C-alpha cells in the first residue's frame, strides 16, 4: 500500500463523453495534468478531440511502474479499456471535482492486469 507523503505517479484515462474518445496518460501530478487537458493548455489529441473528463485513475509508487502500466493499457483493445473504466466508474462520472475536493482521497490502484484478471 502506498503511504501519504510518498512521491506518486498516476495513470489516468480521459474521455470526451461516456463511451466516447479515450486518452490514456501518465503523470507525476494528476491534478495539474488533468487541469491542463481540461483547459486546453495541451496541444494535440486531447485538445483536438475535446477529451476532458477524468473517468479513471490509479496510483503507482514508481515512475517505471506507471510508465509500464500506461503502455500496457494503451495496447489493450477498446473493450478492455471500457471494462477497466466501468470496473471503478460504472456511470462514467467525471472524477475531476472529487479529486480536487479531496486530493488525499485518490484511489490507490496498482498492479492491475487486464479486466477480468485477478489482481496481485
| Residue 115 belongs to some domain of the structure | no
- Whose CA is closest to 8, among 115, 76, 99, 118? 99
- Higher confidence at residue 103 or residue 22? 22
- Within-domain flag for 112: no
Q: Is residue 58 part of a domain?
A: yes
Q: How many separate domains does the chain show?
A: 1
Could you give the maximum distance between any two Cα atoms of the chain, in Å?
38
For the chain, the residue count is: 120
Judge whether 39 lies within some domain. Answer: yes
Q: Which domain holds residue 77?
A: 9-105
Give per-residue pLDDT as tens, 32-79.
999 999 999 989 999 999 999 999 999 999 999 999 999 999 999 999
Q: pLDDT at position 37, please?
A: 95
What pTM was estimated for this model as a whole?
0.82
Residue 2 included in any domain: no
d(CA 71, CA 15): 18
pLDDT in tens, 81-106: 999 999 999 999 999 999 888 665 45
CATH number where 40 lies: 3.40.1440.10
Amino acid at each position: 500500500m502506498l503511504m501519504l507523503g510518498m512521491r506518486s505517479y498516476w495513470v489516468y484515462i480521459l474521455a470526451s463523453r461516456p463511451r466516447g474518445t479515450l486518452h490514456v496518460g501518465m503523470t507525476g501530478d494528476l491534478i495539474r495534468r488533468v487541469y491542463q487537458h481540461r483547459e486546453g493548455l495541451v496541444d494535440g489529441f486531447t485538445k483536438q478531440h475535446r477529451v476532458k473528463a477524468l473517468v479513471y485513475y490509479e496510483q503507482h509508487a514508481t515512475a517505471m511502474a506507471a510508465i509500464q502500466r500506461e503502455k500496457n493499457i494503451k495496447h489493450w483493445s477498446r473493450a478492455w479499456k471500457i471494462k477497466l473504466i466501468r470496473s471503478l466508474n460504472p456511470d462514467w462520472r467525471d472524477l475531476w471535482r472529487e479529486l480536487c475536493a479531496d486530493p488525499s482521497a485518490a484511489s490507490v490502484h496498482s498492479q492491475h492486469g487486464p479486466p477480468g484478471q485477478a489482481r496481485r
